[in-house]
């Protein structure tokens, strides 16, 4: 796993790049690749890489070319089926000089062009320079596991694995986008290809970009696809279980390919227990597993984690996290998320990856994606119950089903019927709306926008984030079943833009740890999308087919336990006995006024409620987290100027200069 960066001056006349700027870009993301670094420099192009060496430790240094020397690559990711692709290319006469997957990627591009992406099973961000055509190719994996950002400014394209690298170029404006904030405070994430910063974009998941002096073109090579509305399939459950078992077994096996030790996260839930079970089957040697716990028992799952560890006989490392530690590390969390967030949940993942790295482990396998692919989240059940309720809106019994979904929410736990109807009844009858499953969540989250200052509101000029959704979603959504609509929205927005970024790649790579996700193997995704609804959500029994597959293979208590949402303390972290100084500072009238994003009076009232405790509402917790993280984001990226890194900061730097041969 690595980090990549580059500058392409595509305008005429040819303008040489500033090598010092490229070095600074790479230095800013050294945490992604502390082992080696390299640059390829031409007349108007510079691409570079910092490397976390995992496959072919000795021979995989980048930049690296195909056998002809025409194509040069810097690459962040893993191509899990590189062995199979390499064998096919060798049959076609391609020669290789290393054992790295990077060389397979560039050789496949030289042979097949952009169509090589259809053959890849992996998680990646790729940059390839075609020396002959003077063309830059940028690509990202199907669901956006690995990040890749870019901006165009005065005839130049800048790209980097993280936004902070782009900001190392002094000419790039650093401005937080009010529209981006408005999207975060509605959907929990910015809608691709936008980011929280004005004129900074991401390469969308499942897409590639071609840039030359004639133009700039974005192309889609993969998209989510689901069953049609009438999905009462004739599929046999047992046959589907076996197909899933076979595919998932292979997805795990190829993700164990590494020249370093591989560990696993073991949360105590179904998903991580499944991955651990399959890892043990593929490699019976003792497995290192890691878990995070909370000293606040309302959030803690340590008992299930230890039970699973004992069952699988793993060498387990359990780390309890205090409220104070979450608060202390929250600034670093935002430095790496590069986005406002509405919960503190990424911070414990940051602390956990730190412990993994302290144990000299670079790779962990995790269970992300199972909830999205197999309908594990409560939002899928909620939508099903609300549709059931909408058929008899005056029912006094049907709304009561919703009270069982969120026992951790004070406003839901033990709520009276009238309160449940008020809380869950938003647009209840609009069942024909393709966004029906998420309308309630988005509506509730959008209330955070009430804290915007008049200046921010004026800058939005009546902008409605829902307009962004209309442009983003696949028009085919109208043909999909109700559950599939929900899965699409959850996967393409929440998972790709928030979960895999803020809780996944960024928190792991902050400590030079690579996460691998077998449930996000594209073959598993495509299989899950073809399954009938009741194979995934059977009544209100989530991940039904996974439970069928794992009967007798994981602890029964974990197999039968209800889904517990992963959450972390908020109010007690920011407003506990040891309130951090930075919280006081960023929430002060002076700082709020200076930043100009939020209304100091309204934020002050929110602070009063948070300090009263102990049963703050979920919305107040999310609002204060969003405000603190936005204030920190402004301080870290808008106010700060580019750094000057010493030449020795890049490890083992190798520079390749372009020649005409």
Active site residues: 2
How far is 86 from 157, CA to CA, in rounded Å? 32
CA distance 95 to 98: 10
Cα gap 125→146, rounded to integer Å: 6
- 3-class secondary structure per residue, 417-477: HHHHHHHHCCCCCCCCCCCHHHHHHHHHHHHHHHHECHHHHHHHCCCCCHHHHHHHCCHHH
Kind of pairing, strands 122-130 and 36-41?
unpaired
Find out whether 535 and 227 touch, Cβ atoms under 8 Å: no
β-pairing verdict for 315-321 and 288-294? parallel
* Residue 87 CB burial class (10 angstroms; 0-12, 13-18, ≥19): exposed
How many whole angstroms separate alpha carbon 9 and alpha carbon 152? 10
Exposure of 17 in the CB half-sphere (CA atoms within 13 A): 29
Cα–Cα distance, 395 to 415 (Å, whole number): 16
Cα gap 95→25, rounded to integer Å: 33
H or E element that contains 25: helix 19-28
Q: In what order do the strands lie in the sheet with 71-79?
A: 64-65, 71-79, 122-130, 135-140, 207-212, 215-220
**Cβ neighbours, 10 Å, residue 564:** 14
What does the block give as tokens for 399?
């709304």
Contacts of 407 (CB under 8 A, 6+ apart): 413
Residue with tokens 């073109």: 217
Q: Which two tokens stand for residue 659?
A: 């020649």
β-bridge partners, 135:
130
Compute the 3-state secondary structure of the chain and give helix, strand, coil in percent, each to the nearest 5. 45, 15, 35
Where does 126-283 have alpha helices with state H?
163-166, 178-187, 237-255, 270-282
Q: Rounded to 10 degrees, what is the CA torsion of 245, 477, 137, 118?
A: 30
Q: Which residues pair with 96 in a beta bridge?
A: none
Q: What is the 3-state secondary structure (H, E, C) of 551-619?
A: CCCCCHHHHHCCCCCCCCCCHHHHCCCCCCHHHHHHCCHHHHHHHCCECHHHHHHHHHHHHHCCCCCHH
Can the peptide bond before residue 63 be classed as cis, meaning omega within 30 degrees of 0? yes
DSSP 242: H
């Amino acid at each position: 796993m690595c980090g990549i960066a580059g500058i392409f001056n595509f305008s005429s006349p040819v303008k040489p790049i500033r090598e010092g700027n490229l070095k600074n870009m790479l230095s800013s993301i050294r945490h992604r690749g502390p082992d080696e670094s390299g640059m390829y420099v031409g007349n108007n192009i510079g691409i570079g890489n910092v490397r976390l060496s995992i496959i072919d430790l000795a021979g995989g240094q980048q930049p690296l070319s195909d056998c002809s020397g025409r194509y040069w690559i810097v690459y962040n990711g893993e191509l899990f089926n590189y062995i199979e692709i390499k064998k096919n290319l060798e049959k076609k006469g391609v020669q290789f000089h290393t054992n790295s997957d990077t060389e397979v990627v560039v050789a496949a591009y030289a042979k097949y062009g952009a169509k090589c992406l259809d053959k890849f099973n992996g998680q990646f961000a790729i940059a390839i320079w075609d020396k002959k055509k003077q063309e830059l190719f940028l690509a990202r994996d199907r669901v956006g596991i690995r990040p890749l950002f870019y901006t165009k400014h005065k005839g130049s394209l800048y790209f980097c694995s993280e936004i902070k690298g782009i900001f190392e170029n002094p000419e790039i404006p650093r401005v937080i986008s009010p529209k981006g904030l408005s999207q975060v405070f509605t959907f929990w994430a910015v809608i691709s290809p936008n980011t929280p910063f004005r004129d900074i974009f991401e390469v969308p998941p499942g897409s590639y970009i071609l840039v030359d002096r004639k133009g700039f073109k974005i192309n889609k090579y993969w998209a989510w696809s689901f069953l049609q509305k009438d999905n009462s399939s004739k599929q046999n459950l047992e046959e589907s279980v076996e197909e899933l078992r076979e595919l998932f077994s292979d997805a795990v096996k190829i993700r164990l390919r590494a020249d370093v030790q591989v560990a696993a996260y073991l949360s105590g839930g179904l998903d991580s227990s499944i991955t651990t079970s399959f890892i043990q089957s593929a490699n019976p040697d003792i497995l290192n597993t890691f878990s995070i716990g909370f000293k606040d028992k309302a959030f803690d799952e340590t008992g299930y984690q230890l039970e699973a560890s004992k069952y699988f006989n793993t060498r387990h490392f359990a780390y309890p996290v205090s409220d104070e530690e979450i608060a202390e590390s929250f600034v670093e969390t935002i430095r790496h998320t590069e986005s406002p967030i509405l919960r503190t949940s990424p911070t414990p993942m940051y602390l956990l990856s730190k412990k993994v790295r302290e144990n000299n482990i670079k790779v962990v396998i995790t269970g992300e994606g199972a909830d999205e692919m197999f309908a594990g989240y409560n939002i899928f059940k909620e939508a099903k119950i609300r549709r059931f309720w909408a058929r008899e809106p005056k029912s006094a019994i049907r709304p009561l089903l919703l009270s069982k979904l969120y026992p951790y929410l004070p406003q839901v736990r033990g709520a009276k019927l009238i309160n449940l109807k008020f809380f869950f009844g938003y647009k209840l009858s609009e069942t024909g709306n393709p966004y029906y499953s998420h309308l309630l969540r988005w509506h509730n989250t959008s209330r955070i926008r009430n804290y915007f200052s008049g200046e921010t509101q004026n800058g939005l000029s009546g902008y409605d984030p829902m307009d962004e959704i209309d442009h983003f979603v696949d028009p085919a959504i109208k043909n999909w079943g109700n559950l599939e609509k929900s899965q699409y929205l959850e996967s393409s927005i929440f998972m790709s833009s928030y979960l895999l970024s803020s809780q996944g790649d960024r928190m792991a790579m902050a400590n030079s740890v690579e996460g691998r996700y077998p449930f996000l193997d594209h073959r598993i995704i495509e299989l899950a999308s073809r399954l009938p609804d009741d194979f995934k959500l059977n009544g209100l029994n989530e991940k039904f087919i996974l439970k069928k597959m794992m009967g007798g293979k994981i602890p029964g208590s974990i197999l039968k336990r209800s889904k517990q949402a992963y959450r972390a303390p908020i109010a007690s972290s920011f407003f506990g006995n040891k309130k951090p100084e930075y919280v006081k500072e960023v929430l002060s009238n002076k700082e709020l006024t200076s930043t100009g994003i939020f209304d100091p009076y309204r934020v002050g009232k929110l602070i009063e409620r948070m300090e009263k405790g102990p049963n703050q509402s979920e919305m107040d917790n999310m609002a204060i987290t969003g405000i603190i993280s936005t204030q920190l984001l402004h301080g870290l990226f808008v106010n700060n100027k580019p750094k000057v890194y010493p030449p020795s900061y890049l490890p083992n730097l190798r520079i390749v200069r372009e020649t005409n041969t």
